[in-house]
Structure 1
Amino acid sequence: MIVTPYRLSLSVCAGSLLVLSVAPAPQAIAQVSAPATLSATILPPAAPWTGASERLIAAADDPWITPAEAAGFRTTPTYAEARAWLERLAAASPLVTVKQFGRTTEGREMILVRASKGGAAKPVVLVQGGIHAGEIDGKDAGLMLLRDIALRGKDALLDQVDLVFVPVYNIDGHEQRSAYHYPHIRGPAEKGRDGNARGIDLNRDYAKLDAPESRAMVGLIRALDPILYIDCHVSEGFDMQYDVTFTYAGWGRYARHRATAGWLESRFGPAVSRALTRAGHVPTLYPSPVDTRRPDQGIRQSPEGPRYSTGYGDFIGMPTVLVENHMLKPYRRRVLGTYVLLEAALRIAGTDAARIAAARAEDRASRPADLLTRWSPDPTPVGWVEDFKGVAFDTYVSPASGRPEQRWLGTPISIRMPIIGQIPTERVRLPRAWWVPREQSEVIERLRLHGIAVETIAAPRRLSVDRVRLIDPRVTQPREGRYPITAGFAHERAEQVMPAGSVRVPADQPLGLLAAALLEPESQDSFLAWGFFPEMLAPAPDTDAFVVARLGEHVLATEPGVKAAFAAKLRAEPAFAADPEARLAWLYAQAGPGHAFVLRYPIAREVD
């Protein structure tokens, strides 16, 4: 057995590559004529299952049967079909309202459904489906639960809380349906895409807010300030006996805000695990594998950044749950499990509303002195799962890949699994405040969208600040609509006059930790890391070589730090050492304050 079904600490940070159990040649895939055939062709057989949650399915002649139920869970409705069904439910029940809260990249209306008994304002549980539009279990589970709340006697779930449900977050991706999207997920027959219309993964966009969908959702979070936020997904990885898994950012070991993490571990996890088990499901915490080809190598536990829903919730002190249903379980079983989890979540949130409020208040009153920015795997396991409910596999040489691939056999096995934690390798001490030049309007806009407190000065102010210079920056592979940047950083103290119109971002505020994640250059989710300041990488203005050579000689003679860095670069990079133009350009970029942008981080850190 697992030591405790709700205390295993697992991470959702790192995705895992999928290895399909049977890999047909491309010609075979091309010949598949019906979407329903695809899963049966490439996925291992589904294990038989029955559970008490099957009683939740409406009868075939029920006038309020949902589209997925009516289709035997073989298909999922389009966004228009789901919206029409929800608007019909709202017309039939005073408990339900439907409203718009944003627009997608392609201009579609983003809707939410609020289920409430009205009266005095109640805390909100916010649930979203389809941020990854092929992982759509939450949408169909939510429709069933809303029906039963509005019309089938479960309205007591609304005695202490309101439910706000976003049926599909990534609507544009949802409508680009194909049998070949998410081939690792068993049903429905056609699924949407991972990214939005621009290919941006919205569950990597909470920090940088590039997509209109992300801005709408963060605006909704600010307006509702939910006591619980649930994000419904489906897993990748490997076969196992568990069907419904869930996780939180960092768990107790790595959570940035510990009070809300403690409530999730001690109250939410046990409550939903008990409910799922009673309903015939097999829950556990989401096992993020170290190596999908060798499950016995362990499961990963690590901190998270605010690019993810769970990481964002952790940074702002909002209890956030990631539901990761198991990909190889049939759609019907996954939807029913999600229903049970959501119902249990409403119950425990209502019971514990005051306790959650106290935990949030404690976290938001905290003022961390530093920010963890880098970590590496701990060579010693931080714990063990003594009886992980796995599935046996063998291997065969695939004619497609030409290498051994896994073939899952469906046979239950028990695995002793190590839990691989992380060792902190870099922390940065937070300043009193960050100073953003008024011309960095894109950054200032993002800070305000997050609700981070800022102040704009009306008159110049002289300060002692920490300035940052980039060392050997690199533009990495494009991701999420951006060209991320990696670099080393050199810090230096200086006196600087902040001109009128400069924006000060104090660290002493409830969202100070989020501000740090966005503005500290070492942070993996900083605006700098996402490539918001490309002007830093432009070369210095050109001039004649004989002038630059003499200027470089002067810098080497008068700046010991530059001289040492130049010598190290010559030793480490033979191509650089052999390139006269590159050598002069590098020295010119170091030459005093004349180059306002070159390798200089534009945001200053107020240190005293």
Structure 2
Amino acid sequence: MTKHLLWLACLMPFFAPAQSTTTLVTRYEKTKGRETATYAEVIDWYKQLDRQYEQARLIEVGKTDIGKPLHLFLIAADKNFRSTPQRVTLLINNGIHPGEPEGIDATMMWVRDMLKTGKLPKQVLLAIVPVYNVDGCLNRGVSRINQNGPIEYGFRGNSRNFDLNRDFIKNDTENARSWQRMFQELKPHVMIDNHTSNGADYQHILTYFATQKDKLHPLVSGYMSQSFQPELDKALTARRFEPVPYVNNFSNTPESGIAGFNDMPRYSSGYAALFNCFSFVVELHMLKDYPSRVDGTRAFMEESLKLIERDATKIVANKQQADQALTTQPTFAVSWKSDRSRTDSIPFAGFRADYKPSDVSGLKRLYYDRSAPFRKQIAYWNYFVPDVQVKRPNAYLIPQGWTAIIERLERNGVRLQRLRKDSTLTVNAYYVTDVKSPARPYEGHFLHTGVQVRTETLTIQAYAGDVLVPTNQVSNRYIVETLEPQGTDSFFAWNFFDSILDQKEHFSAYVFEDVAADLLKKDPKLQQLLAEKKAADKAFAESAGAQLEFIYRYSPYYERTHTRYPVYRLE
């Protein structure tokens, strides 16, 4: 759906308003917290709210892999369902993992009560994805053995078995493509993504992680980490949901310390951060009873909305200034690493961990003793530093044949320019000199790591229709982190350019022997390079094939596009 069609849909109700309101009751409430709503019940619920309240709209924003539409539910006190620069847009994402359904049920009841009482935020456009992974929600059953209820729920993977919370850059799914178009039209300031945790046992019901603070613009990061989060944590504690950072620990038990989560752009919060939207991934503890988890999720959303409404002017101003700063930011980090030299100390309420013989294997097994609770300070490593940084070029050039890349840039609101005529351009080009790839695929890709490059200045032929990507725009972080091959979640890392790693032409040794000998005779410098290589590498010196390959790489016959990354930098 195009931008104009989407917002036209926003302005026009899908359903005729009802003459009177009726009290809606969720499956969760009917079963006293034992069951979660089915997909059909969720969508019907929001359709009924759309009918009953003029301040609510349910719209379809695109397709999903299973053929069902992706829905968005909007609440606006002034009935203006457009995202505007003057107010905050809060995006709430539910059901990215439908086996973790707290957000689905909590949000249904929360918005019903909000609309019924008329206590709607005046400075916030509330945008809710009722169920993102529609496919997984329809695949209802039991699969999370570590989870305490509800009775049935959806499945983590979508209909093509993709984890949608790894698809925000590569966009393999229709779900992700629809969600991105929606995100770019909403341009949210804040996002809440609702989940259930895995891992250790402890007393806390509610855990969460925020967008990695060191990756955000200082204005957005400073407000989020120094103002918003402390007040949110205080409010949640007062409601008996004392939060703790998502328990991402280095050993079996969290007493050893918790590591901040490196939310790369493949994840919802990492993707949102590329556009100066700060996020919270809420993780209710899997072993707590389901009603407590639903209540905790609702409390998080309610207390967040209060702060967002109160600080709306500041949140809007921070994002506007951060967006503007991105247009001229000179360098960008494309890979990050944890700074273990810096640590904070946080209070943690856990259970004593111990070991006993396994009834299955007879060997040592871990267990948590709930009769031995404790409370103490533990280490929290939540500082990250750039691992790889690059200087922003004036623009990138992408040959028009790389349509998958161009489509992704367009979907993410990147401003592009097409060359109007064939042109000869001087560019800086990367050659990939080393790359590591796994033996098994991850989310349908053989994700590259350890990418090393060298740079050459070249004169290339560009053609009418090739794409220039100027880097004087608010999408700069997305542009740089996806187009620089050393980026952790770059398009190169996700295998979109793997064809450049294949050599298309080669030689027959018995033919090239005479050519190579002639090349050596005419090129003393090449003779010297070969001699130095033989002296330094015994295996090379004993391999005729390796020496022919060495000469071939320096010959005019070697294809200059082999390992040349076809996204060029214009400095």
| TM value normalised by structure 1 | 0.81
Deviation at 1:335, TM superposition (A): 0.6
CA pair 570-340 structure 1, distance change in 2 beyond 3 A: same
Question: Where in structure 2 are there 5+ consecutive unaligned residues?
Answer: 1-21
Deviating more after overlay: 507-516 vs 278-287: 278-287
The 8 Å contact of residues 267 and 348 in structure 1, kept in 2 or not, is answered as no
CA pair 546-415 structure 1, distance change in 2 beyond 3 A: farther
Aligned-partner Cα distance in 1 for 2:105–2:241: 18
Give CA-to-partner distance per residue, 1:539-588, whole Å, 9 cap, x none. 332432123445666489656998699769956xx6x8887667756764
Give CA-to-partner distance per residue, 1:406-427, whole Å, 9 cap, x none. 2111132124322234454432
What is the aligned-residue RMSD (CA, Å)? 2.8
SS at match of 2:487: coil
Matched AA of 1:482: H
Give CA-to-partner distance per residue, 1:42-62, whole Å, 9 cap, x none. xxxxxxxxxxxxxxxxxxxx9
Identity of matched residues, %:
29
2:240 aligned with 1:307? no
2:281 aligned with 1:331? no
1:19 corresponds to: none
Matched AA of 1:380: S
1:492 corresponds to: 456
2:115 corresponds to: 150
Aligned ranges for residues 482-561 of structure 1 at < 5 Å? 482-486=445-449, 487-549=451-513, 554=519, 558=525
CA pair 89-475 structure 1, distance change in 2 beyond 3 A: same
SS at match of 2:248: coil
The 8 Å contact of residues 302 and 422 in structure 1, kept in 2 or not, is answered as no
Aligned ranges for residues 398-547 of structure 1 at < 5 Å? 398=358, 400=360, 403-410=363-370, 411-420=372-381, 421-476=383-438, 477-486=440-449, 487-547=451-511
Deviating more after overlay: 345-354 vs 440-449: 345-354
1:294 corresponds to: 253
The 8 Å contact of residues 257 and 314 in structure 1, kept in 2 or not, is answered as no
2:338 aligned with 1:373? no
Aligned ranges for residues 54-203 of structure 1 at < 5 Å? 63-120=23-80, 123-151=88-116, 153=117, 155-179=118-142, 181-203=143-165
Aligned-partner Cα distance in 2 for 1:256–1:196: 30
2:207 corresponds to: 245
Matched AA of 2:215: A
The 8 Å contact of residues 209 and 280 in structure 2, kept in 1 or not, is answered as yes
SS at match of 2:425: strand
The 8 Å contact of residues 208 and 245 in structure 2, kept in 1 or not, is answered as yes
Deviating more after overlay: 438-447 vs 410-419: 410-419
2:322 aligned with 1:363? yes
Matched AA of 2:144: Y
The 8 Å contact of residues 248 and 261 in structure 2, kept in 1 or not, is answered as no
2:193 aligned with 1:231? yes
The 8 Å contact of residues 426 and 459 in structure 2, kept in 1 or not, is answered as yes
1:13 corresponds to: none
2:282 aligned with 1:319? no
Matched AA of 1:234: T
2:244 aligned with 1:280? no
Deviating more after overlay: 162-171 vs 266-275: 266-275
CA pair 519-401 structure 1, distance change in 2 beyond 3 A: farther
Q: What is the count of residue pairs matched by the alignment?
A: 536
1:211 corresponds to: 173
Aligned-partner Cα distance in 2 for 1:567–1:299: 50
Matched AA of 2:290: Y
The 8 Å contact of residues 157 and 347 in structure 1, kept in 2 or not, is answered as no
| TM value normalised by structure 2 | 0.86
SS at match of 2:181: helix
CA pair 467-347 structure 1, distance change in 2 beyond 3 A: same
CA pair 187-552 structure 1, distance change in 2 beyond 3 A: farther
CA pair 423-220 structure 1, distance change in 2 beyond 3 A: closer
More relative contact order, 1 or 2 (CA 8 Å, 6+ apart): 1
Deviation at 1:442, TM superposition (A): 0.8
Deviation at 1:379, TM superposition (A): 4.4
Deviating more after overlay: 538-547 vs 203-212: 538-547
Question: Where in structure 1 are there 5+ consecutive unaligned residues?
Answer: 1-61
Aligned-partner Cα distance in 2 for 1:412–1:373: 42
Deviating more after overlay: 459-468 vs 64-73: 459-468
